[in-house]
Amino acid sequence: MTKGLKQKIIDQVSPDLKKVEIALEHNLKPNLKLVKKIASHLLFSGGKRLRPLLMIHSARICNYDNGFEIQFSVLFEYLHAATLLHDDVVDEAAVRRGKKAAHTKWSAPKVVLTGDFLLATALDIAAKTKEPDIISVIAKITRDMSEGEIDQLDKKGKLDLSEKEYFEIIKRKTAVLIQGACKSGAILAKADREKTDALEQYGFHLGMAFQMADDLLDYTAGAKELGKNPGADLREGKLTLPLIHSLGNASLKDKKWMENVITATSFSPALFEELKEKLYAYKGIEYTEQKALDHVKKAKECLSIFHDGQSRELLCQIADYSIERKV
């Protein structure tokens, strides 16, 4: 089932994806070889190009399909890469997309500055759209994401992180960027308010589902599928919904035990397995799956105002796939 859906999506987007890859290569023009190297390390290591695809089809669903939607869409991949570089430095993550994180190969300052360079590249393309509202979207994304990261840093290891705080964090961390890509497609197409809002809401719900699926995978996937070690969130002291919900339901004894695991800076694979069992037992996994599914449902409902067609179908499939994916 999952593979079928993934393949269906790939079949539909592969001609566009080829053009996206060319545009990504073409617009990356640093003066320094080192910047190219650091930026390419992340940019060309197998990203799904989800954000460009969302902008492309948000434009097309609003009847904009003159080809510029592909050229402009890559700005969201650069923006995404810029935030990943800054986040990896902030989180001191060791692995990203199955490769060593950039700052473990180059110094953190160089990685931060390469992030700035990629942000500038995104801005340059945004300016070419001649749509000031797209710049406002990018400003909002950058503001929300930077504040979200600081907030998350401040809340690291907070054992009583609430569900509400968690939703706020993942909104800023993931949903605003996906939301922004969808909204920008609508702006580019000069869509009316109703359609623009619908695509913005679609993006929000998709982003929330997407991040919850990610947070689930950090417990349920193997290292190979994940492209990084599972349990990374736990190791960094980040509480995500499966854990938050389970902590709320656990017996006092199990709660204490789980809190000890969270507080420990490292844990054995066996201990991690034991924790996972508790997340299943206290329905943290199931609850998170249900919440993600709710967002997928809402995302698809947002698309109901659009006429049937290839872009609507694809955006629906992407919503479904966001929680079915194994990586």
User: Would you tell me which residues interact with a second copy (CB under 8 A)?
Assistant: 30-32, 34-35, 86, 89-90, 107-110, 112-114, 116-117, 119-121, 123-124, 126-133, 135-136, 138-143, 145-147, 149-151, 153-154
The least CB distance from residue 177 to a second copy, in Å, is 13
Q: Which residue, 110 or 195, is less far from a second copy as judged by CB?
A: 110
The least CB distance from residue 140 to a second copy, in Å, is 7
Q: Which residue, 187 or 275, is less far from a second copy as judged by CB?
A: 187
The least CB distance from residue 170 to a second copy, in Å, is 16
Q: Which residue, 117 or 219, is less far from a second copy as judged by CB?
A: 117
The least CB distance from residue 219 to a second copy, in Å, is 25
Q: Which residue, 156 or 326, is less far from a second copy as judged by CB?
A: 156
Closest C-alpha among 215, 249, 246, 245 to residue 232: 215
The least CB distance from residue 172 to a second copy, in Å, is 9
Q: Which residue, 31 or 304, is less far from a second copy as judged by CB?
A: 31
Q: Which residue, 119 or 199, is less far from a second copy as judged by CB?
A: 119
The least CB distance from residue 88 to a second copy, in Å, is 10
